[in-house]
Amino acid sequence: HAIAVPGVGICLPERLPDGWLVRPSGWRTTLRAVLRGSVLEVDAEGEPWRVVLSPRHADVVRHLAAAGAGGMTAAQLSRAMFGDDAHEVTARAEVSRLRRAIGSLIVTGPYRVAEGVELRVAATSQE
């Protein structure tokens, strides 16, 4: 359900494990995100936040970042993660769980990084 936030306008709240992601309904703000190892750090031109992902969820984020705007189907994600497309149901379930952790930073149809999110995968956890 949309909510009105004074000074911002109509926003869409999304429940995350440790709080809420509240974004303007038009969401034209660029979110900058960096995945360092299993830690996803997000800066939305304000208060940055971070979430520790499971190794598998971090792997999903890496694959989707590499796929670019075209994204990946469940079969493609299964091949990338498991070497075959026999694990499509598992790939779908992992994306569903990942979205509960990071909200709509990842979108579906096909699976991809959301428009307006600049996601960088750091080569090492020190970057």
pLDDT per position as a tens digit, 53-68: 999 999 999 999 999 9
| Lookup: tokens for 50 | 């971070």
pLDDT one-digit tens code per residue, 47-102:
677 889 999 999 999 999 999 999 999 999 999 999 999 999 999 999 999 988 88
> Using the 8-state DSSP alphabet, how is residue 69 labeled?
G
**One-letter amino acid for residue 69 of the chain:** A
Alpha-carbon distance of 101 to 123, in angstroms, equals 23
Collapsing DSSP to helix, strand or coil, 113 comes out as: strand
Q: For residue 126, is pLDDT > 60?
A: no
More confident residue, 42 or 126: 42
Q: What pLDDT was estimated at residue 87?
A: 95
**E strands in the chain:** 3-5, 9-16, 19-24, 31-36, 39-43, 49-52, 106-107, 112-113, 117-121
d(CA 12, CA 103): 11
The pLDDT of 14-28, averaged and rounded, is: 74
For the whole prediction, is pTM greater than 0.75?
A: yes
Q: Which residues, including other chains, have CB under 8 Å from residue 31's CB and lie 6 or more apart? A: 42, 43, 44, 105, 116, 117, 118
